Amino acid sequence: MSLAETAAAAAADPEEGARARARRIEAWARWTLPVAVLVLVILGWHLFVTLNRIPHYILPGPVRVAEVIVADWPVLWDGMLVTAKIALYALALAVLGGGGLAVLFSLSRWTEMSFFPYAVILQVTPVVAIAPLIKIAVDDAFTSALVCAWIVAFFPILSNTTMGLKSADHNLRDLYRIYGATRWQRLRYLELPSALPYFLTGLRIGGGLSLIGAVVAEFVIGTAGTGLGLASMIQEASYRLNIPRMFAALALIALLGVAIFMALTLLSHLLLRRWHESAVRREA
């Protein structure tokens, strides 16, 4: 429907016009309200530091942190690339391992009963406790951090995808059996589409956890001077009492996490918007 047709419909139906205005206001507020809150927080931070004359080596202000980001950008950029690589590689491996194992679980109940408890054990064991053992087994610091991040991101994708594969409508399962569909046909045409929303939810969770796992692994494995990413820079800056650089690296980690979440949210929206209830309602 064109803009002219929409305007004509709104003019003809006052209730529809009110709903259209409410949608426009909501779309506008979805972006402006978080930005306004961020601006207020930064302004409050700046005023608190300025009015109390807090030294930058104790609590740097936002202006000081921005100056450090600009001045140290080449170093911070290299560190952010390393952290991003660890997180994204770990997420990709978690998708392959968790999604593939979930499909295998759906095909074989015996396989699920044999291996799922060990996946739970791997999930509930703190990665901080596992990281030194991985460091001993794997000499390369980047690979060690990658394994730690993968462990953290693996289980949400496995558990959500497994739940989604089991959530296919049982009446449709019976219908497929009545018409003689093979196990692979049921998987492809029924169970995988049913599991997609669950998988995408696990993917968004795993995306954030992969970054957390990368940062934790860098703290435990990547001690200062090993050439790892932003967390290693935070650790090194703490040794040198370079507090502004610590805040700058922390800000970039937060921005990286937001970017990963937004990208995965956009992917979920693009895949679900035309057919799934959760996405269709938001567009109604």
* Average pLDDT of the residues in 239-244: 87
Locate tokens 């009015």: which residue? Answer: 51
For the chain, domain boundaries = 3-51, 62-283
- Fold of the domain spanning 62-283: MetI-like fold (1.10.3720)
46 with 62: CB under 8 angstroms? Answer: yes
Mean pLDDT, the chain, integer: 84
What's the pLDDT at 43? Answer: 93
List pLDDT tens digits, range 178-226. 888 888 888 888 888 888 999 999 999 999 999 999 998 888 876 544 5
List pLDDT tens digits, range 93-151. 999 999 999 999 888 888 888 888 888 888 888 888 888 888 888 878 888 889 999 99
> Coil, helix or strand for 55?
coil
